[in-house]
Amino acid sequence: MSEVLLQIDGKQVAAEEGMTILAAASSIGIAIPTLCLHEKLEPYGGCRVCSVEVESRGRSSVVAACLYPVEKDLVVTTRTDKLDRIRKSLLEMMLAHAPDSPELQKLAQEYGANKDQFEKEASFCIHCGLCVRYCSEVKKANALGFVNRGSKKEISFIPEIAVKECWDCKECFELCPTSALQAAYVLIEALTSPPEPSTPSCVGKCSR
Amino acid sequence: MPRINSCAELEQIRSHLLDVRDSHKPCISVCTGSGCLALGAANVVTALRAELTVQGLEDQVEIKETGCPGFCERGPLLVIYPEEICYLRVQPDDAREIITDTILGKKVIDRLLYVDSETNEKVIHEAEIPFYKNQLRLLIGNNIKIDPNSIDDYLAVGGYSALAKVLAEKSPERVVDLVKSSGLRGRGGGGFPSGLKWELTRNSPDKVKYVVVNADEGDPGAFMDRALLEGNPHSVLEGLLIGAYAIGAQEGYLYVREEYPLAVKNVTKAIRQAEEYGFLGQNILGSGFDFTVQVHQGAGAFVCGEETALIMSLEGHVGEPKSRPPYPAVKGLRGKPTNINNVETWANIPLIVNQGAEAFSAIGTEGSKGTKIFSLVGKVNNTGLVEVPMGITLRDIVYKIGGGLPGNKKFKAVQTGGPAGGCMPEELLDMAVDFDQLTKAGSMMGSGGMIVLDEDTCMVDFARYFLNFLADESCGKCVPCREGVKQMLKILTNITQGKGKHGDIELLEGLAEVAGSAALCTLGKGAPNPALSTLRHFRAEYEAHISEGRCPALSCKKLIAFHIDPDKCKACGACAKKCAPQAIEGGKKLIHVIDQEKCTKCGSCLDVCPKAFGAVRKLSGEPVPSAIPAESRNLG
C-alpha cells in the first residue's frame, strides 16, 4: 500500500491509500463524532454527523468522513461553522425520535442542539442500522432488517429467524443508541412465543 | 432471417430491403405509444384494419403501429405516407373516411387537421405544424416512421450502420475520442461529459466491464426515455453496442422501471431480433466483438435512477445509494468498472458516429451540444415531447412550440429538472436552455422535465408537492434526507394551510443547507431545490402566506373563501344547483349566499356563474363579507 499525504485541520498527515478520512484524522488525534460507525462493521454513512469539508482540485464539498477515502493533497476541515450547523441540525432531527438517548444528549450539548426543535416522533429509532448490520455482517444471522423506505422505514425482526437465533445472542441490544431495538424485540418475542397447546380445533385442517 | 456476418452483408440486406419496399405504397402510421394508446389508438388501428378488409385493400395499404412522435396533446394521431398528411385526435369512426377519402380519393379531411390558433389556417403536413416545425427532431423524428417491433424498419432508415462503421473502421480508443470531441453530456441529469465517463471506465484496469442503460425514468410527468425505448428501441441498443465496444464490455443491462411495460416488451423484442440478425451475441458482424444484453425491471423506486442505487438493485439488493467514491467507472456492478448512461445519451451515439463529432457539436451552445428532448407539460397548449437544439430559449419552447398558455392565463414560471429542479420566472424566459445556464439560474437540466405554470399556481404549494414526492421516494438511509426533507415538507404543508410562523423561511433555508450538503446521494442533495428556487424567485408568496394569511395565487384551500357579491347575483341558481355539499342558500328571485361552514372550496360555483354576472369571487387574506340578511335577499 502506498502512502498518501493530505492535510487535516491544517496538519500534514501521511495515510495509507484506501484509509478513510476518519481513520486518518484519528491517527493524529483528531476526533470526529459518529453515531452509526462500529469497529466490527463496514462504514455505512447513514447518520452523517461525521460530515467534514474537503477541498480537492479546487472544489469544496461536504463528505462523510467514515466513508470518504483519503486522496493525495486533499484538504480536510473537521470543524467549521457550517459543519457545526449541519451537526446541530442532524442531532435535532434525531432527538425528535430519541430525546433521552445519552449518546445524542452528549453530542447535543457539544453542538448546542435543542431537543425540542422538532415535534417529537413516535418511533425511537434513528436508523443507524447498527443492529441490522451487526446481525448480518458479524453474526451472519439476518434475523432483522429494514422494512419500508423513507420516513416510513423501520427495523423489524424476521420472526422465523429471530425465534431460532435471538434467544441466546441478543448482542445487538447493547449497540442500540436508543431504546427502539429492545422495544421491537420484546414485541417480536411476544409474537413468536409458542401458543398455548389448548386449541386443537384446526389440527389436520391446515397442516402445511 | 439468416445471421448477418459482415458489414458488407448488412449493406446488401439494407439495399435489398429498400428495393422491395415500395415508397409509393400508401402507409398509415398510427402512433401507438403509451400516450396515444391511453387515448384509444388501439381502437383506431383496429377500425382502420377492419375498413381495409371491408374494402379489400389489405395488400395495397400498409398500417404501421409506431412509437410516439411527441404531440400527445392531440392524440390519437396518425401520418399518411407518402404525402405526410397528419391527422390529429382521430377516432375509430373516422376510419372509413380516411380510407375512402384520403387513401383512395386523395382528399384531405379538414376536420382532422391541425388548426393554427393564430391564423386559423389548417395545416396538412406534419413538418409544417408549428409544434414540430420549431423542433429539431434528430432522435425522435424517426419514431413515426418505424414499427418498433420491426428491425427491418430500423435498417431501412439506416439502422446499425453506425455500429458497422465503428466495428469496421475505428479502434475502441478512437470511438472514445469521437464521443469526447462531440461534447456529448449525460442526458440523465448530471450532465457529466459522456466521453470522459467512457474513458474512465475503459481505463479501469479490470478485464471485466459492464455497460448499463439507465431507463429508470421517474420524474413526475416526464417520458422522454419511454418514448425512445418504446418507439425506437434499436437506436438505444445500437448506441449501447458502440459504447460496449469502445469501453471494452461484453455484457450490458437495460434497467427499465417497472411502470413501463410497453417499453420492456418492445426492447425485449428488439433484443431478440438483434440476436437473430447477429447484432448481439458472438463475433458481431464478423468483427470478433462479443456482446450480450439483458433487461432488468426495477421494482418501483425513484431513487434507483441514481446510479449507485441502480447497481444495488441490479445486484438484487435493496435499491439504496452508496457513497462515491469509488465511482461506478472504477467499482460498479459486482465490483467491476461499469458505465451507466441514460437512454437518451445512448440514443445519441449512433447519430454522433454517423454525422461525425463536428456536425454534432455544431448544434447547441459552448458547453452543451446536440439536442435535448423535453417533456413539455402543465399549463401549456401543446403538451408532449419536444426535441430542441441546446441553446433555444425557454420562450421559444413555451410559446412557439408549446403554443402558449390555455385560457389566456398569465405565465408564471416554468419548472425544469424534475423533482429536484427549480422554477424560472418570466424574467428568465429569454434565457438559453443549456446545462450551465439552467444551473446558474438555480435550476438544472435534469432528464428533461418541463412544467409550465400559470398565475393560478401557488409556488409554495408547488414546492410542497415536490417535497412530498421526494419524502416519499427517499430511501431513508441517511438522516439529512429521511428526516430533513420530512421536516421541510412539514413546514411547507403548514404554510399552505395557514399555519406558517415567522422564522419558517429561515428554518427552511437552514434545513436546505443540511440536506443539500450532507445528504448521501443526489436525491437528498437536490431535494431542497424546489423550496430554494421558489424562495429565490417567489419569496413574497411565502411571506404573504405567513404574514397575511393570504395565498396570492388564490389556490391554497385553507386560505381562500368563495363569496357571492349580493349586488351582482341575479338569482339564476346555477351555482346552487352545482354545489355538491349544498352550501349555497338561495331560491327563486333570492340573492344566493354561501354558507362558509359548509363550503368545501371546490370552486364549481365560480366556474358556473355566468361571465356576464361575475357574481362569485375568490378571496384570500381578507375577511369574507358577512352574509346579507335574509330579508334583504329578495330581488323582487
Q: Provide the 10 A C-beta neighbour count for residue A109.
A: 10
Question: How far does the CA of residue B412 sit from the closest CA of chain A (Å)?
Answer: 32
Closest-CA residue of A relative to B523 is A150
Closest-CA residue of B relative to A18 is B326
Angle at B582 between CA B579 and CA B584, to 5 degrees: 80
Angle at B477 between CA B476 and CA B479, to 5 degrees: 80
* Nine-digit cell string for B29: 402510421
Instruction: Please determine, for residue A200, whether its predicted confidence score (pLDDT) is greater than 50.
Output: no
Q: Provide the 10 A C-beta neighbour count for residue B561.
A: 18
Q: Do the domains B19-138 and B159-361 sit in the same CATH topology, yes or no?
A: no
Q: Which residues of chain B have pLDDT under 50?
A: none
Are B480 and A48 a contacting pair at CB < 8 A?
yes
Alpha carbon distance B619, A8 (integer Å): 58
Average pLDDT of chain B is 96
CB B220 within 8 A of CB B449: yes
Per-residue model confidence (pLDDT) at position A168: 85
A26-29 contacts, C-beta under 8 A, 24 or more apart: none
Interface with chain B: mutation pick from A52, A87, A88, A90, highest number of B CBs within 10 Å: A90
Burial letters for B152-184: b for 16+ Cβ neighbours within 10 Å, e otherwise? bbbbebebbbbbbbbbeebebeebbbbbbbbbb
Per-residue model confidence (pLDDT) at position A206: 36
- B469, B471, B477, B483: CA torsion to nearest 10: 170
* Nearest partner of B212 among B290, B98, B329, B53, judged by Cα: B329
How far is CA B216 from each of CA A98, B223, B272, B304, B340, rounded to the nearest angstrom? 36, 10, 22, 7, 12
Alpha carbon distance B54, B42 (integer Å): 18
Over the Cα atoms of chain A, what is R_g?
Answer: 21
CATH code for residues B371-454: 3.10.20.600
CATH code for residues B557-632: 3.30.70.20
Per-residue model confidence (pLDDT) at position A203: 40
CB B303 within 8 A of CB B319: yes
B597: helix, coil or strand?
coil
Are B479 and A62 a contacting pair at CB < 8 A?
no
- Tell me the torsion sign for CA atoms B180, B343, B247, B164: negative
Are B482 and A148 a contacting pair at CB < 8 A?
no
Neighboring chain A residues of B513 at a CB cutoff of 8 Å: 82, 85-86
What is the mean pLDDT of the segment spanning A32-43?
96
Which residues, including other chains, have CB under 8 Å from residue B474's CB and lie 6 or more apart? A149, A150, A151, B303, B481, B482, B485, B523, B524, B527
* Nine-digit cell string for B70: 411527441
* Nine-digit cell string for B93: 369512426
Q: Give the bridge partners for B253, in sequence order.
A: B212, B294
Q: Give the bridge partners for A4, in sequence order.
A: A15
Are A149 and B325 a contacting pair at CB < 8 A?
no
Average pLDDT of chain A is 89
Where in chain B are the domains?
19-138, 159-361, 371-454, 459-548, 557-632
Are A153 and B482 a contacting pair at CB < 8 A?
yes
Q: How many CB pairs under 8 A join A and B?
A: 93
> B576-608, pLDDT tens digit by residue?
999 999 999 999 999 999 999 999 999 999 999
Cis before B261 (ω within 30): no
Which residues, including other chains, have CB under 8 Å from residue A84's CB and lie 6 or more apart? A111
CB B542 within 8 A of CB B536: no
Kindly indicate the confidence band of residue A193, based on its pLDDT and cuts at 50, 70 and 90.
low
Alpha carbon distance A136, B383 (integer Å): 49
Alpha carbon distance B592, B589 (integer Å): 9
> B53-62, pLDDT tens digit by residue?
999 999 999 9
Q: Provide the 10 A C-beta neighbour count for residue B545.
A: 30
Which residues, including other chains, have CB under 8 Å from residue A200's CB and lie 6 or more apart? none
Closest-CA residue of A relative to B469 is A150
Of A48, A69, A151, the CB nearest to B518: A48
Per-residue model confidence (pLDDT) at position B521: 95
> A43-102, pLDDT tens digit by residue?
999 999 999 999 988 889 999 999 999 999 999 999 999 999 999 999 999 999 999 999
Neighboring chain B residues of A149 at a CB cutoff of 8 Å: 301, 473-476
Per-residue model confidence (pLDDT) at position A204: 37
B159-361: what CATH class? alpha beta
Are B518 and A96 a contacting pair at CB < 8 A?
no
| Chain B residues in contact with chain A using a Cβ-Cβ cutoff of 8 Å | 301, 318, 323, 325-326, 471-480, 482-484, 486-487, 490, 510-511, 513-514, 517-520
Are A150 and B510 a contacting pair at CB < 8 A?
no
Which residues, including other chains, have CB under 8 Å from residue B529's CB and lie 6 or more apart? B417, B420, B421, B422, B442, B443, B444, B516
How far is CA B373 from each of CA A26, A115, B139, B519, B523, rounded to the nearest angstrom? 49, 47, 8, 29, 22
Are A90 and B514 a contacting pair at CB < 8 A?
yes
Alpha carbon distance B411, A73 (integer Å): 50
Q: Sheet holding B384-389: strands in order across?
A: B384-389, B371-378, B449-454, B411-416, B422-425
CB A30 within 8 A of CB A8: yes
Instruction: Please determine, for residue A7, whether its predicted confidence score (pLDDT) is greater than 60.
Output: yes
Amino acid letter for position B291: F
Per-residue model confidence (pLDDT) at position A123: 85
Neighboring chain A residues of B318 at a CB cutoff of 8 Å: 146
Of A51, A69, A96, the CB nearest to B518: A51
Are B519 and A48 a contacting pair at CB < 8 A?
yes
Per-residue model confidence (pLDDT) at position A190: 64
Q: Sheet holding B27-31: strands in order across?
A: B62-66, B27-31, B78-81, B85-87
Q: What are phi and psi of B297, to 5 degrees?
A: -90, 135
Any idea what DSSP says for residue B485?
A: I
Of A49, A94, A150, the CB nearest to B474: A150
B168-173 contacts, C-beta under 8 A, 24 or more apart: B168/B7, B168/B285, B168/B287, B172/B202, B172/B245, B172/B246, B172/B247, B172/B248, B173/B202, B173/B246
Question: How far does the CA of residue B183 sit from the closest CA of chain A (Å)?
Answer: 22
> A153-191, pLDDT tens digit by residue?
989 888 889 888 888 888 998 899 987 777 777 777 766
Neighboring chain B residues of A96 at a CB cutoff of 8 Å: 483
* Nearest partner of A128 among A27, A36, A51, judged by Cα: A36
Neighboring chain A residues of B475 at a CB cutoff of 8 Å: 149-150, 153
Block residue for cell numbers 389548417: B122
Alpha helices in chain A (DSSP H): 21-27, 81-95, 102-111, 130-133, 159-165, 180-192
CB B34 within 8 A of CB B228: no
Are A150 and B517 a contacting pair at CB < 8 A?
no
Neighboring chain B residues of A119 at a CB cutoff of 8 Å: 490
Alpha carbon distance A139, B309 (integer Å): 25
Question: How many Å from the N-terminal Cα to the C-terminal Cα in chain A?
Answer: 56
Per-residue model confidence (pLDDT) at position B174: 98
Are A90 and B477 a contacting pair at CB < 8 A?
no
Interface with chain A: mutation pick from B312, B323, B522, highest number of A CBs within 10 Å: B323
Kindly indicate the confidence band of residue A1, based on its pLDDT and cuts at 50, 70 and 90.
low
Are B483 and A150 a contacting pair at CB < 8 A?
no
A145: helix, coil or strand?
strand
Alpha helices in A21-169 (DSSP H): 21-27, 81-95, 102-111, 130-133, 159-165
For the entire predicted model, the pTM comes to 0.93
| CATH T-level assignment (fold) for domain B459-548 | de novo design (two linked rop proteins) (1.20.1440)
Closest-CA residue of A relative to B516 is A62
How far is CA B483 from each of CA A69, A109, B127, rounded to the nearest angstrom? 26, 20, 50
Alpha carbon distance B593, B602 (integer Å): 16
Over the Cα atoms of chain B, what is R_g?
Answer: 28
Are B476 and A45 a contacting pair at CB < 8 A?
no
CB A51 within 8 A of CB B518: yes
CB B221 within 8 A of CB B449: yes
When the candidates are 3.30.70.141, 3.40.30.10, 3.40.50.1000, 3.90.1150.10, the CATH number that belongs to B19-138 is 3.40.30.10
Query: What's the complex ipTM?
Result: 0.91
Q: What are phi and psi of B427, to 5 degrees?
A: -60, -20
Question: How far does the CA of residue A193 sit from the closest CA of chain B (Å)?
Answer: 30
